[in-house]
Chain A
């Protein structure tokens, strides 16, 4: 067994490391071809990561990316493609922001306010994703189609609600429009980062807790087992007594609830209001990170950190004259090569395992003869 687990460590490392090296090679080649010495680019990027502010911001980006990735991964584990995390978190953040910013909330104790805000966001996200789950279960509508559509509906709904006549307020002279600013008691204080003027989101702890809960759910609960079984083989899951329809609905609700959390660190830790400039598109980033981290709670954490770091260093690239689009290329190459590398390693591992079993069998025939 010792040999086997050692090998699995080595194989587990092979895919991400190989893919990253490959991606770096490709990026170096692109940089070289466009006349930017890779040395300086790398230096600039690493140098900027040493800047406390960039580091803190990387952590913050990673926090939201991670939540988004978990939301996507819950679906992925069941072969459900929740493309709608984007719409789910935007709608959830907007409505939760409206609630958190409402004046009656000022009277409540801080902890309760924050809990209500986060709870509301999870609820909204779950309901929005639940619509897609419900349509799939009752009408057989592909969740890919319905969640994409619901993204568009969410966009329109947010635009409709983000109006001074409804949930938004305007500030004189500003061309922005957003929900009322959340007052002190509704905010989640951040952690100071030495040397950085921006704090690390307090809700980074929430992301960590969500990661642990995700891991626990998948590996320690019957529900998680049913979820994984359904993802691996629906027919086997059905035969084992899993009610697939109920699982589809439950996992969409869970995925949506996790999606609802995506906007919370930013809302309660930095923006304090849902406005036109609230970050959009995080749901799609989550898909990339879930792919990169292979839906694994720890893998996705590293993927989110990598992604956040790359994003935050892109400003530096611009400053040093390198088009920051190189970062996007790098991210794309990394995802592609990681996905391919994992598949290659998976097949290789399977062959190795089969050979092991073959060996174990090769030594056994004598026993069979005796028994017969």
Chain B
């Protein structure tokens, strides 16, 4: 009896779906691919975001900007998919696989969580070009049709760390990390090294907003503000917000106390959403995910695809510090000096804490 009940349940549910569908379906059947424009041989780009997706005010957004630029310039056709909280690798893999099955080429996976899935799917679709942002693990996500777009975040962070130390009057600076992951620890390592390079006695306060698997720390301005206030009360006068969308809270706290904030990922001084606090954003550690994504699409578009790791570092301009607002103009010379030393290899920036 019980079995029948369940079986019937499923059957009826299925029947219900069909019946409803029959009632509701009419006309307008072209709603499938919203971006289907040209119909020519334009590229069909598939882009899979990590949790947060477009609109996360952080690196997913940065990737989206790169895609948008490519769309404009090459008229590519694009579909964007996004991860859900609590999903498995199998679901991520499925996402990429369905893009590949539906004829998307190239396919871009944003975030290290796609490492395994990209590796697996790329093997089954040797003609499709893949890119993964933020990961290069030999044997996992490497292959003849995978480009690994990685960044030297520690190098850029070193420069803004140096800037922080140079600007600090108290010899006390802060680091607010969004989520305690190895990636963000890389930011911290570079930042701390930069601070210490300028002032070996300077104090660096470090705080991560959340612990994985809670990735809310990348999008919680209130938490950012609380953490920043704590640091300011403890004497910090410059705080680096490596915390995505939570940075706005850090800047608000800094503005209140007359301190400086340092932005991350993009030149945050110019972000419209941060207009009211931009006068405290003395610089930003720019991580050009958009450039990387754009470059990758361009390379495929031009038939210049290159597999393997492509490091976006200071030398290539993939990471940098920003000067908008003119607040670091007085120390620009010193920062550029450090930059040269890093590029030349004179200074080796640690990537782990």
Contact = CB atoms under 8 A, between A and B. Distances in A.
Q: Do chains A and B touch in the complex (CB under 8 A)?
A: yes
Interface of A: 5, 9, 12-13, 16-17, 20-21, 24-25, 28, 31-32, 35-43, 45-46, 48, 53-54, 57, 60-61, 90, 155-156, 158-159, 162, 170-177, 197-198, 266, 270-271, 276-282, 285, 296, 298-299, 301-302, 305-306, 311-312, 314-316, 318-321, 324
Contact of B81 (A155, A177, A197, A318): A318
Nearest to A24: B16
B95 A173 contact: no
B13 A20 contact: yes
Given A24-B13, A298-B2, A312 B21 contact: no
Contact of A174 (B17, B112, B120): B112
Contacts of B113: 176, 276-277
Contacts of B29: 37, 40
Nearest to B124: A197
B6 A318 contact: no
Interface of B: 1-6, 8-10, 12-14, 16-18, 20-29, 31-34, 79, 81-82, 84-91, 93-95, 97-99, 102, 112-113, 115, 120, 124, 134-138, 140, 148, 150, 180-183, 186, 211-214, 309
A270 B89 contact: yes
A336 B10 CA distance: 18
B152 to A, nearest CB: 12
A176 B115 contact: yes
B136 to A, nearest CB: 4
Contacts of B26: 37, 39
Contacts of B82: 318, 324
B182 A175 contact: yes
A278 to B, nearest CB: 7
Given A46-B18, A270-B90, 17 more contacts: A9-B1, A21-B16, A28-B20, A28-B24, A37-B24, A38-B23, A39-B22, A43-B21, A60-B88, A172-B137, A176-B113, A177-B181, A276-B212, A277-B113, A281-B85, A298-B3, A315-B81
Contacts of B137: 171-174, 176
A61 B5 contact: no
Task: Say what secondary structure dominates the interface of chain A.
Answer: helix
A31 B23 CA distance: 13
Nearest to B134: A175
B91 A39 contact: no
A278 B215 CA distance: 13
Nearest to A325: B84
B24 A173 contact: no
A173 B309 contact: yes
Nearest to B208: A159
A237 B295 CA distance: 70
Contacts of A158: 211-212
A281 B18 CA distance: 31
B319 to A, nearest CB: 15
Contact of B24 (A39, A172, A177): A39
7 contacts: A20-B9, A28-B20, A159-B180, A159-B212, A174-B182, A316-B98, A320-B32
A280 B181 contact: no
Contact of A175 (B86, B89, B102, B135): B135
B138 A172 contact: yes
Contacts of A311: 84, 87, 91
A315 B24 CA distance: 22
A281 B86 CA distance: 5
Contact of B8 (A17, A162, A176): A17
A312 B95 CA distance: 9
A105 to B, nearest CB: 22
Contacts of A5: 1
Contacts of A155: 211, 213-214
A321 B33 contact: yes
A41 to B, nearest CB: 8
A282 B86 contact: yes
A37 B97 CA distance: 25
B2 A276 contact: no
B90 A57 contact: yes
A361 to B, nearest CB: 29
Contacts of A37: 24-29, 31
A302 B91 contact: no
Most-contacted residue by chain B among A173, A177, A299, A320 (CB, 10 A): A173
Contacts of B32: 40, 320-321
B212 A38 contact: no
Contacts of A54: 94
Given A175-B135, A175-B183, A280 B85 contact: yes
A312 B88 CA distance: 11
A197 B122 CA distance: 13
B6 A319 contact: no
A266 B4 CA distance: 30
Contacts of B211: 155-156, 158-159
Contacts of B20: 24-25, 28, 38, 42
A281 B4 CA distance: 31
A282 B212 CA distance: 15
A299 B2 CA distance: 8
A46 B14 contact: yes
A320 B3 CA distance: 34
Contacts of B309: 173
Nearest to A170: B182
Nearest to A281: B86
Contact of B182 (A16, A177, A301, A302): A177
Contacts of A24: 13, 16-17, 20
Given A24-B20, A173-B309, A315 B31 contact: no
Contacts of A159: 180, 211-212
